[in-house]
Each structure stands twice: as C-alpha cells, then as structure tokens.
A and B are shown apart, each in its own frame.
Chain A
Amino acid sequence: MFGWIDTVIQGILLGGLYSLYATGLSVIFGIMRLVNLAHGDLIVLPAFLMLALVGVGVPIVLALAIVVPLMYAGGYVLQTVMLNRVLGRNILPPLLITFGLSIIVQNGLLEGFSADTRFLNVGPLQSASLPLGGGIAFGIMPLICLAAAVAVIVLLNAVFYRTAVGRAFRATSDDVQIAQLMGINDRSIYALTMGIALAVCAVAGFFLGARSNFDPSIGPARLLYAFEAVIIGGLGSLWGTLAGGIVVGLAQTIGAHLDPEWQILAGHVAFLIVLVIRPRGLFPRAVD
C-alpha cells in the first residue's frame, strides 16, 4: 500500500518536471502553430549558460535570474530576425529552421563546453529529503520543481487572461487574419511568444541541470516527453500541459512499479490511449 502511495507521489513530482519542459513548447505551439524541434536543446543551452555563470563565481540563484531575461531576449531576437521571415502558409520552412537550430546549438555547446557531462550544483538541497513516515520520503528539489511548474503556469495564465497583450496573444492564436484586421501585429506577438517560451526553457534548464547530468547532446531526448505532455493536455491550455506532464510522469512511475522495463513504454502508452479517447487532448482551448 505504501509502495503505491510512494509511486503516485513520485509520479506527480516527476510530472512537474515534464510540464516545465513542455510549457515553453505549449506556448509556441498554441500561439504560432510552430513545432519547435530545437526545444530540447534550448533547455540544455540555458543550463550551460548557468553553469558558465556559476563557473565565474555567480551564485546559482542569481545565475538563474540572469539567464531567464537573457533567454527571453534571445528568443525575441531569434523570432524577429529568423523565424518570422519564414512563417507562412507552409509549415515546413520554420520546422526545418528549428531542426537546423538544434544541430547548431548542440555543436556550439560541444565546441564551447566539451562533451563532459555536467551538473548544476545546488548544494545540500540536492539530496535534501522530507520524510512522510511509513518509509516514504521525497526530495525537496522535486517539490520545488513542481511548485515552479505551477507558478510558471499561474503567471503565464495571468498574463494571457488579464492583460491587453494577453488578449492579443489569444486573438492571434484563434485567428491570425482577424487579429490582424483588429490592428494586431502578429509578428511582434510571435516575437514576444518566443521570448516567453525561452524564458520558461531557462527555468526548465535549471531543474534539468539540478536533477541529473546534462551534456550537449542530451536535449532531443527531453523533447519527446514535452511533446506528449502538450498533446495530452490539449492545444492552448497551460493547465492542460501541467496535467499532461503529470499523466506522463504518473504513467512512468506506475509502469516502473509493475516492472522497470515498462517505465518509458508506459508513458508512451498513456499518450496513445489519450490520443485514441480524446484526440484533441484533455483540456483543449483552441478550436482547430
């Protein structure tokens, strides 16, 4: 019995991490309909930036505070000078650009940081534990990670639903042409979107780097779970993305509890089941 409670708690905590991976992707996908194949690498990139800052003596929390706006600016520029030029009716050119970006980021990191496997050291927090009794204990870091995922989503929802620019985001997401008729510049909305998404990637990169090792080639492996979380949650719904992440996380820990061989498979199977029962995801917002 305790085994199952433990499994469920750990699954939900793992889901927090997955939904952090997925939130940036969900924002980009929901508003621009752009599949960002470089998303995994854009999570690893800020992790390396933080590592570099820590290397010159910046405390880790301050490094995070520096890298988040840096990634925001990077995303804004990336969208303005590159992706906006190819966005159009054909979805293939931007897809190919993100594919190329993925290769550039990986090799750039390899050149700059070598292939060594790295870690963001958060000191004693790394192994800090919270015992619940009955032999169950869970880590403080995964708990902070889940809290961060929820906080990011609360914050983004506040922006999307309570501000004028948020209204513009939703309008662009619903119908670009009508939004343009109302005087919204879709290109600048897209640039903001990419900025926000990459700022979230920086937060995800922090938790990726503090949970496990990373090296320049590890990004693409994280992309798949992020995709699954977005699709399970439903297009355009950030709470859905959180739910999607938790579904994947839970499926994995429950699968592993039955047999470790089924761990990864169980996550994918859960994804397929959701696709069969609710092809538009659990909480779809956009109607398309």
Chain B
Amino acid sequence: MARKSDINRLNRRTFMKASAATGAALAAGSVFAPSVRAAQTLKLGYVSPQTGPLAPFAEADKFIISSFLETVKGGVKVGGAKLPVEVTVKDSQSNPNRAAEVAKELIVSNKIDLMLVASTPETTNPVSTQCEIEEVPCISSVAPWQPYFIGRQANPAGGPPAWKPFNYTYHFFWGLEDVIAVYTNMWQQVKTDKSVGGLFPNDGDGNAWGSKQVGFPPVLDKLGFKLTDPGRYQNLTDDFTAQIAAFKKANCDIITGVMIPPDFTTFWNQASQQGFKPKVASIGKAILFPVAVEALGKNGNNLSSEVWWTPNHPFKSSLTGQSAKQLADAYEKSSGKQWTQPIGFVHALFELAVDVAKRSGNAGDNKAMVKAIAATNLHTVVGPIAWNGKNLPPFAAKNIAKTPLVGGQWRLRNGNKYDIVITDNKTAPEIPVGGKMEPIA
C-alpha cells in the first residue's frame, strides 16, 4: 500500500512541476495562447500487480514510470499544443476483482484518456473488459494473447465464429504457438531420446499448455516426441514423487511445463533427491526471474525458458532513443537489482501511449485515440509493433500484435548469479544468439 501512495505522490509532484513549467512556457512564449490549453493534460492510467503473488512482474514499474515522467516533463505535442502528461498508477494487488475496481476508478474519477495495463491475464483481462464497457481506449501487454483474447470472450469454448473482436482494447505480446515452437526448436539442438515429461498444473496456463487441441500434445506428436503427462496437479503442491516416478519409468530426457516458482523448486529438488536427472528442462513462468533461478543454487544451471526481451535484443526506445542494453543498465543502476524481462514491455507501453496520443490529434477523443492505436507502426524497445494481424489467425488479427519470442538458457556466472543466454532464434532470426543449447550436466 505504501508503495502505491509513494508512486502517486511522486506523480502528483512531478506533474505539478511539469504543468507549472508548461504554464510558464506558454505564458512567456505567446500572450495569445488560449489559457484553457494550459489546464489540459494527457491523462494516462496504469494498472499492474504491485503487491501480492504477481508482484515480481511490477517490480520495475516505479523506475519506468519515474523515468518516463522525467522524459516527458516538457509535455507531449498533441494536435498543435504541448500537453503535460499525468500518469495515475493503481495496484491490482494480484486480484482480478480489485483490478476491475481500480480500472473503473481510473475511468470514472480520474477521467483518463488512455489505459495502460500490464502483467498476466489476471490483470490485463478485467481492466481491458472495463475499458471495453466504458469505451475507453486500452493497450495491454505481458500476457500470452490466447488467455487475453479467448479468456475475455462471452463463450471461450465457442470457437472462431462466436469469438468477437474488441473495439477499444488492444494487446501486444506473443502466444502459446510461439512457446511451443521455441521449446521444440531448443530440444532439437540436444541429442535426446525424444521422451518428454509434462508438468501442467490445473490452472489457466497449465490447461492450455497441456490441451490436446491447442497445446503441446499435437505439435509433439507431429515432431516425433513422446509426451508423458501424468495429469493436472494443483498449484502449491508439496510433493512431486508421483510425477518423478512416471518420468523415470518413461525415461524422460526432457522436462517441460508451466509452473509457479515454489512448485518448480520443490519438483527440481525432489528430482535430484530421488535420482532423476533429465538432460533438458524447459519451464515457463517459474524461472522467468533471475532470483527464482538463484534460489535453486547450482542446480539452476542450463535450465531453459522462453525469452521475450533481453538487453541483447537489437531494438531501441522510440521515446528516449535508449537501446535495450541502456534501458536495462539504467534500471540496474537505479535499483541495484538485475534486469528482468517485463522492463522492456512496460517501457514499450509508455512508448505507445505517447506515439498514439501524438497521432490522435486529440487525446480526449476516444474514437480518434482508437483509430491511432489501430494504425500504429512503431519501432519500440521490444521490437516493431503494429496491429496488422501478422502471424495471427484472422479472428485475433484486429486486437493483437505479436512481438518476437526466442529461447534461452540460464548460465551460472561467478558461482551464484545467473544470466540468460539466448540459445535458439529460429523463430526470430533478427535477435542474435549468445550460445548453443547445452545439456544439463
């Protein structure tokens, strides 16, 4: 809670400074400038999970928003006038109901021009849905597009003709098909017996990954991998003996799954305690953040995962001109912590906000804003973003823009720190690899 009010206070203060400066500049620059202009602001709302179990996703928010406000303190040019920028930050507390509530507050009380929302379907979906109802433009990210798009449909099981596109809400990220491609590409680099063990929990992600229609099973079948899926387990399980026994029996060389960090640690420790040592382990979600890999001690070396953004991505911010590397360095310097993947995407959200507002001609006009979002073609720090339907099925073409996804392995550095090294870029050749896949020793 304290963290939230901190951000708010900081914003208000910075905003006051910015608006005072803009007012002074206007007064000095032109006596004929209409006084009403000085009172106008570009109002952005931002919702993310700053507390609760999803909080690691939002750890860099404070840094990104304060450096964003610093960048735009001179205002943003919209329709011939320089508008001061105001960002109101709300915490979803990792709770979808709370996310919907604060979204409504931002729309009704703060009268925002554009909603930005990040991190996991539990945050993006309720906020986007509120925006769709209230007809407020919204850009979201950091959630695979399937749970975002299909999860918000009236009938998620209905299939494409029943799935309707949205009018005010737009999303950029990658999808399940990209993870599957990245993982199988990585596995083909290592000599294995092609026997795969699956650890899919009984939650939204686990059911999608393990789904016989859209998940791993059909693709693995086609590529000649044999999948051992013992069944959906509950999150926060304390014992994985049954799964380990099943994988041992099937001689699995490869382990995959989408697990929460405590479950993967439990599994990985138990696996080595019970004498099960696969050659490859590609895990979604659990080993996204370096601290989670450090928690595994030396046993985290050469675990692999999907990679959405690193400082080595060859992209630049349209807002500050910083390269991915410079952005990550700035975060590490200001926080004293290692960079994490959401940094690039949260930064890109604010890049898009400024770009869209500039092109809209009138930030207060929601129709003009939506038109500007749809027409976006911006090179951001996470790559080019355009809602042009590229690599997407027709039903999702309007609202989804895809960003590149590659695969990487965590490598031990100086005995206790981990760095992710990109080991497979067949899915996005523009992103350089840093090494080859290595089997887990």
Q: Give A contacts to B, CB under 8 Å.
A: 3, 6-7, 10-11, 14, 17-18, 107, 110-111, 114-119, 121, 123, 126-129, 131, 135-142, 211-215, 217-218, 221, 225, 249, 252-253, 256-257, 259-261, 263-265
Contact = CB atoms under 8 A, between A and B. Distances in A.
A123 B2 CA distance: 36
Given A127-B272, A138-B273, A212-B262, A253 B59 contact: no
B297 interface: yes
B237 A264 contact: yes
Nearest to B55: A115
Contacts of A138: 273-274
Contacts of A260: 230-233, 237, 242-243
Interface in B230-267: 230-234, 236-243, 245, 248, 261-263, 265-266
B248 to A, nearest CB: 7
Interface stretch (B288-296, B372-380, B381-389): B288-296
A256 B241 contact: yes
The 10 closest A-B pairs by CB, nearest first: A139-B273, A115-B55, A119-B295, A127-B272, A256-B242, A10-B241, A260-B233, A264-B234, A137-B275, A212-B266
Contacts of A126: 269, 297, 299
A54 to B, nearest CB: 12
Q: Is the interface of A mostly helix, strand, loop or mixed?
A: helix
Interface core residue of A107, A115, A221 (most chain B CB under 10 Å): A115
Contacts of A256: 233, 237, 239-243
Given A129-B275, A264-B233, 6 more contacts: A7-B242, A127-B299, A138-B273, A213-B295, A217-B53, A261-B231
Given A14-B239, A127-B269, A213 B292 contact: yes
B1 interface: yes
A259 B231 contact: yes
B192 interface: no
A106 to B, nearest CB: 9
A141 B242 contact: no
A196 B427 CA distance: 57
Contacts of A18: 238
Contacts of A14: 238-239
23 contacts: A6-B245, A114-B59, A115-B51, A115-B54, A115-B55, A117-B295, A118-B295, A119-B265, A119-B296, A126-B297, A126-B299, A129-B275, A139-B269, A212-B262, A213-B265, A215-B53, A217-B52, A217-B94, A249-B239, A256-B242, A260-B231, A261-B234, A263-B239
Contact of A212 (B56, B232, B265): B265
Interface string B145-185: 00000000000000000000000000000000000000000
Interface of B: 1-3, 51-56, 59, 94, 202, 230-234, 236-243, 245, 248, 261-263, 265-266, 269-270, 272-275, 289, 291-292, 294-297, 299
A259 B270 CA distance: 18
Contacts of A7: 241-242, 245
A171 B52 CA distance: 42
A235 to B, nearest CB: 24
A218 to B, nearest CB: 7
Contacts of A137: 273-275
Interface core residue of A121, A225, A257, A260 (most chain B CB under 10 Å): A260
Contact of A263 (B53, B237, B265, B299): B237
Contacts of A107: 1, 51
Contact of A115 (B56, B265, B269): B56
A257 B242 contact: yes
Contact of A139 (B53, B270, B299): B270
A118 B294 CA distance: 9
Contacts of A127: 269, 272-273, 299
Contacts of B202: 261
Contacts of A6: 241, 245, 274
A286 B97 CA distance: 43
A263 B233 contact: yes
Contacts of A135: 248, 275
A252 B241 CA distance: 10
A119 B51 CA distance: 19
A123 B299 CA distance: 10
Contacts of A117: 56, 261-262, 289, 291-292, 295
Contacts of A212: 238, 262-263, 265-266, 269
B298 to A, nearest CB: 8
B260 to A, nearest CB: 9
Nearest to B264: A213
Nearest to A252: B239
A234 B55 CA distance: 38
A110 B51 contact: yes
Nearest to B294: A119
Contact of B269 (A114, A211, A214, A215): A211
B115 to A, nearest CB: 23
A138 B240 CA distance: 12
Contacts of A259: 230-231
A116 B296 contact: no
A213 B238 CA distance: 11
A228 B126 CA distance: 35
Contacts of B238: 14, 17-18, 211-212, 225, 252
B273 A116 contact: no
Contacts of A211: 238, 265-266, 269
A6 B240 CA distance: 12
A118 B291 contact: yes
A117 B231 CA distance: 26
A52 to B, nearest CB: 15
Contacts of B231: 259-261
A129 B297 contact: no
A264 B52 CA distance: 23
A136 B249 CA distance: 12
Contacts of A265: 234
Contacts of B240: 256
A109 B412 CA distance: 28
